[in-house]
Structure 1
Amino acid sequence: MSNQAEFKTSLLLMFRARIPFISIRSIERTRVLEVIQQLAEEINIPIYVHNLSHGTMDIKTKNSVNEDRSVAGGLDFAVQNISQRQNLTFVFTELSDIEDDNLVSRHIYDCVIQAIARGGCICVITTKSIWPQLQRLGMTITLDAPNEEEMLEVVKDCVTPYIGSIPIEWDEDDFKIAASTLANMTKIEAENVLATQMAKGSLTKEDISELSNAKDKLFSDISGLEKVKLDPSTLSVAGLSGLQSWLDNQKQLLTADLKSRKLRPPRGVLLVGVPGCGKSLSAKFIAANWNLPLFRLDLAAIQGQYLGQSENRLKEALASADNAAPCILWIDEIEKGLSGATGANDGGTSTRMVGQFLFWLQESMAKVFVVSTANDVSKLPPELLRKGRFDELFFVDLPAEQERKDIINLYVKRNLLNQPSPETLKRLIQISDGFAGSDIEGAVRDVAIQAVIHGDEFINDELYEKCFKNIVPLSKTAPERIEAIRLWGRERAVPASGASWNSSIESESGKRSIIL
């Protein structure tokens, strides 16, 4: 059953049970009133709606019954009529200051007490919490934004009337993709986006990608959540074949219908390993390859100075990511944002943030694929590594010989440089033993800088070797730290390269001492 159908059924039962106070949580007032109007006609009960523009009117006939547009006037009118007639229902759409004990909330409280005696019902449509003493007199119900099933109907209702009037290239699959893209937007937001696309006089298959861009603009203005612009021409990943193969399978699951098998969408991947080996680049590559928007969750920007502020900001950011689904959520160096959970004296804020993040990671059913990266795994809370949080834990190691060759060729091609000779390429592969991908990029970039300064004719094999020999990798400046990271990865994670750990260790025998 869809969300709106569940909402309608539950609200119908509350009306029939004559619950004296009903708080309806929703940002879509128009959609809620549409459902209430349907119920008023189906079960033939008198329902009156109050707003600040028209006062109180009959929801079925749209006739005004009280022109006093103030909240106090609307409540007084409701109390007067409830005392004279039984089984009346009044809906208030624009109430403020009902979170605490004040004159407005007490006025509503007195009105509800009167409704209890006469079988009346007071409904409020709000996005805020309710004064607890008032809320205990009734029940709460929520209408979320349309899910995929409901959004499919919205899309078809919006587009179908124009078939024959303008060129429309969409087929049934395109309608489903559009519904998946626009899901979790409000109905009016989705209709506005579709109307804007059709205003140019046609609806093409290319317009589907524009739907995602329009949705991004609505959900990226949240503290700590940043929309990342991608340039697919610069996003190529060499090596990491094991990770890429696994991601290909996850991409199919992200678009498949998993409801019949009671499966949740892919949750994400945690990438740990040596700094500079492509973990952050992989997040951008996934978003570009899957043609999904990429959002970066900055845990440092979420931190607030007041009690509970950090947790609320994190909740808002994760809720925005759910609303922006399907999307990729990138959390870079997650151990730095959550490190307080392992012992920092911050009043328990980090611990609560970890708990909230893990709960969302476990329970959210939105198509948000999380790509988290970490360098210092010792600072990660142990519960984050438990199976079931992320779909897989990959270790990104220093590139092996073939991977270094692929990375060198990748950056030489990207920087439009002349290829080194085969013999020189072999020497560069040997020189770069122990290099991270960023070290190789830096060496090739130095060659490219000389090409810009002196011209391409200045580039030769000797310059390649010189630039590579000038690089001092982290594996040499901090060998103990890098070896500790690699040892952790071999024991606890899946190799992102796709090669088994045994083969990796055998290929390094004689080159360096490895303690297992």
Structure 2
Amino acid sequence: MPAPANRSFRDNLALLFRARFPVIYIESFEETRVLAEIDSVARDASVMRTVRPMYTWSATRGFVEPNGATHAGTTDPKQAVDWMLQQEGAGVFVMLDLHSHLGDDRRPADPALIRALRDAAGNFHVGSSARVLVIVAPTLRIPSELEKDITLIDFPLPDEREIRAVLDDMISANTSSNGRIRVEVDSVGRERLAKAALGLTLNEATNAFARAMVDDGVLSNDDVHVIMEEKKQTVRKAGLLEFVDVDLDLDDVGGLQNLKRWLSKRNNSWLAEAAEYGIPAPKGVLMTGIPGCGKSLTAKAVAAAWELPLLRLDIGKVFAGLVGSSEQNMRSAIRTAEAAAPCILWLDEIEKGFSGLSGDGDSGTSSRVFGSFLTWMQEKTTPVFVIATANKVDRLPPEFLRKGRFDEIFFVDLPTRLERRDIWSLHLSKRLQRSKAANLDISESLLDTLADVTEGYAGAEIEQAVVAALFDAFADRRQLKDDDLVRSIRNMVPLSVTQAEEIAAVRSWAATRAVAATAADDRSSYRSTAPAAPTPPSPGAAPAAHAAESLSRGGRLVDF
């Protein structure tokens, strides 16, 4: 059974001690912190009616008394439990390595040890002395025979105050010893470093700060990325989330000025300065729209701009594995994301994971997983900013779209002329700066021409047009020419032609349900007429011009 919720670890532990709960299980890698807390509570006369000494057991030393004395013959867990039962006085008996003897999927636990632990639970519960067994382990491993005898209690990772204290102590120690590390971090920088280290153990945070100091001999505000490297290790070990490396910024996303302004205003909203304004941490944003128009690219760019880790959740991994493990996988993924907070949790093409949740074919597993995720999104208080992308938003359950799940829903449409011009400039500059075909003059007139002939093209299609043109130049071992770009455009049939009906449908849905990601000024450059059936492209002409003009754009005109 779990311990009472909405209390601190210390309050929970004191309550269970006073209530004479016989066996408590604490899952944590931080033995030193856990032991310090247990000992502090056990000896605190202000919260304990009976002050209790703490005895610690390990597989290497057996039971060790508070004064450091050891007891021979107690390294075997069964013998250790027998010795514990013989102690008549009050005490807290902490066993550190017991989980490795409690069995797993490959081997069962020793029946004699299970019996001894059950005897201890019964004895401690009704005995005259205040005694309790506390199992501290890095993994949760409870045999079914002991499920009703053991109470679980969560031990949280260090909070910002504890991590900030470690950072301040390291800076002070360096200053007082005239260390060679130059400290160039201000108060806001210290807050950002401490927040970046949330989700790490104290040892991991200490190592991360030490690495940042010795990396270049300077501790500065920019060393947040060093802390992110340590977080990356933590996320990868968990397995369900992917830590995505990003090397771009919001300026690398062409167009979408309305969406970019909205996101920029929410940067640093997890800092104490924002809390002083009464601002809660933003929940997240849902981006829907036409494929290839920058939704996934924006998710990556936000993480870089905000200097936060980007964690990608693959819903397929949640449903993989043994029967009955999907719910646990989702809880583990959420717990990992919260441990890495502040961070960005990215769910790409979410409709593929959460569409068709009837529950008929999987005994309701999908519905339960989806329900737990929705509840977390609604109730979460940790700064985990959720970015979800969807190409076919109509496949999502309606409860996923209601207010309170996301702060806003944005519709990403085909780029306008001004946006296409920016996209061409970005991709040509990026590709040609490291290309042997770099003599092309990216002039204003060239960008205007390319923007005009690619009406109805998605950003991804423009990028592929640049790549195709470079292939043509490479095949002849010559420099890139304007004609190469125009020819690659004319040889491509864009989505605005091949999926005209689908685009019209999603625009119709977004017209009243989502905010346009494109700024109003940019949208004014887009020519639209009454909806009509698109015509096939004619040879030698830009294939999407008529189709793009025939489709009215979607998304409410809101200017951020």
**Hey, what's the Cα distance between the residues in 2 that align with 1:235 and 1:515?**
24
CA contact (8 A) 2:9 2:156 kept: no
- Give 1:389's aligned residue: 405
- Give 2:205's aligned residue: 190
- Say yes or no: does 1:166 pair with 2:180: yes
Alignment CA distance shift 1:276-1:344 (3 Å):
farther
- Give 2:155's aligned residue: 143
- Give 2:492's aligned residue: 471
Alignment CA distance shift 1:514-1:345 (3 Å):
same
Q: Could you tell me which of 80, 84, 87 is aligned with 1:78?
A: 84
Moved more, 404-413 or 95-104: 95-104
Instruction: Report the structure, 1 or 2, having the larger helix content.
Output: 1
**Hey, what's the Cα distance between the residues in 2 that align with 1:74 and 1:154?**
36
Q: Could you tell me which of 62, 65, 68 is aligned with 2:74?
A: 68
**Hey, what's the Cα distance between the residues in 1 that align with 2:72 and 2:261?**
66
**Hey, what's the Cα distance between the residues in 1 that align with 2:553 and 2:477?**
47
**Hey, what's the Cα distance between the residues in 2 that align with 1:233 and 1:261?**
27
Q: In structure 1, the residue corresponding to 2:127 is in which secondary structure?
A: helix
- Give 1:34's aligned residue: 36
- Give 1:512's aligned residue: 550
1:229-378, aligned counterparts within 5 Å?
Answer: 229-232=245-248, 236-257=252-273, 264-304=280-320, 306-341=322-357, 345-378=361-394
**Hey, what's the Cα distance between the residues in 2 that align with 1:66 and 1:214?**
41
Q: CA deviation at 1:158?
A: 4.0
Task: Write the deviation string for residues 250-304 of structure 1: whole angstroms up to 9, x where unpaired.
Answer: 1131334555677642222111001111111111111222222222222223332
**Hey, what's the Cα distance between the residues in 2 that align with 1:350 and 1:320?**
20
Q: Could you tell me which of 82, 88, 92 is aligned with 2:91?
A: 88
CA contact (8 A) 1:23 1:124 kept: yes
Q: In structure 1, the residue corresponding to 2:199 is in which secondary structure?
A: coil
Alignment CA distance shift 1:449-1:386 (3 Å):
same
Q: Could you tell me which of 109, 112, 115 is aligned with 2:121?
A: 112
CA contact (8 A) 1:272 1:375 kept: yes
Q: Could you tell me which of 46, 60, 63 is aligned with 1:56?
A: 63
Q: CA deviation at 1:201?
A: 8.3
TM-score (norm 2): 0.81
Alignment CA distance shift 1:360-1:103 (3 Å):
farther
- Give 2:539's aligned residue: none
Moved more, 183-192 or 121-130: 121-130
The number of residues matched between the two structures is: 508
Between the two proteins, what is the percent identity of the paired residues?
34
Moved more, 416-425 or 111-120: 416-425
Amino acid at match of 1:94: D
Q: CA deviation at 1:239?
A: 0.7
TM-score (norm 1): 0.88
Q: CA deviation at 1:484?
A: 0.8
Q: In structure 2, the residue corresponding to 1:185 is in which secondary structure?
A: coil
CA contact (8 A) 1:340 1:346 kept: no
Amino acid at match of 1:123: V
Task: Write the deviation string for residues 94-151 of structure 1: whole angstroms up to 9, x where unpaired.
Answer: 2232899954333122113222222222222244264677565575432111121222
**Hey, what's the Cα distance between the residues in 1 that align with 2:277 and 2:146?**
42
Q: In structure 2, the residue corresponding to 1:346 is in which secondary structure?
A: coil
CA contact (8 A) 2:287 2:387 kept: yes
Amino acid at match of 1:90: F
CA contact (8 A) 2:249 2:304 kept: no
**Hey, what's the Cα distance between the residues in 2 that align with 1:258 and 1:363?**
20
**Hey, what's the Cα distance between the residues in 2 that align with 1:495 and 1:265?**
23
CA RMSD of aligned residues (A): 3.2
Q: Structure 1: where are the runs of 5+ without partners?
A: none
CA contact (8 A) 1:146 1:185 kept: yes
Q: In structure 2, the residue corresponding to 1:194 is in which secondary structure?
A: helix
Task: Write the deviation string for residues 46-65 of structure 1: whole angstroms up to 9, x where unpaired.
Answer: 22121212111123x22224
Task: Write the deviation string for residues 374-424 of structure 1: whole angstroms up to 9, x where unpaired.
Answer: 111122121111111112110000111211222222222222252466555
Q: In structure 2, the residue corresponding to 1:386 is in which secondary structure?
A: coil
CA contact (8 A) 1:276 1:439 kept: yes
**Hey, what's the Cα distance between the residues in 2 that align with 1:154 and 1:11?**
25
- Say yes or no: does 1:153 pair with 2:153: no
Amino acid at match of 2:140: K
Q: Could you tell me which of 111, 118, 123 is aligned with 2:134?
A: 123
Moved more, 310-319 or 466-475: 310-319
Q: CA deviation at 1:475?
A: 1.1
Q: Structure 2: where are the runs of 5+ without partners?
A: 46-50, 433-437, 531-548, 555-560
Alignment CA distance shift 1:176-1:19 (3 Å):
same
Q: CA deviation at 1:197?
A: 4.1
Q: In structure 2, the residue corresponding to 1:48 is in which secondary structure?
A: strand
**Hey, what's the Cα distance between the residues in 2 that align with 1:243 and 1:18?**
56
Task: Write the deviation string for residues 313-370 of structure 1: whole angstroms up to 9, x where unpaired.
Answer: 2322232222222222221111112224157733323222211221222233332222
Alignment CA distance shift 1:272-1:513 (3 Å):
closer
Task: Write the deviation string for residues 1-53 of structure 1: whole angstroms up to 9, x where unpaired.
Answer: xx999322332344345443333343322211112233344435322121212
**Hey, what's the Cα distance between the residues in 2 that align with 1:487 and 1:93?**
61
CA contact (8 A) 1:325 1:368 kept: yes
Moved more, 272-281 or 200-209: 200-209
Q: Could you tell me which of 191, 210, 214 is aligned with 1:176?
A: 191
Alignment CA distance shift 1:30-1:373 (3 Å):
same
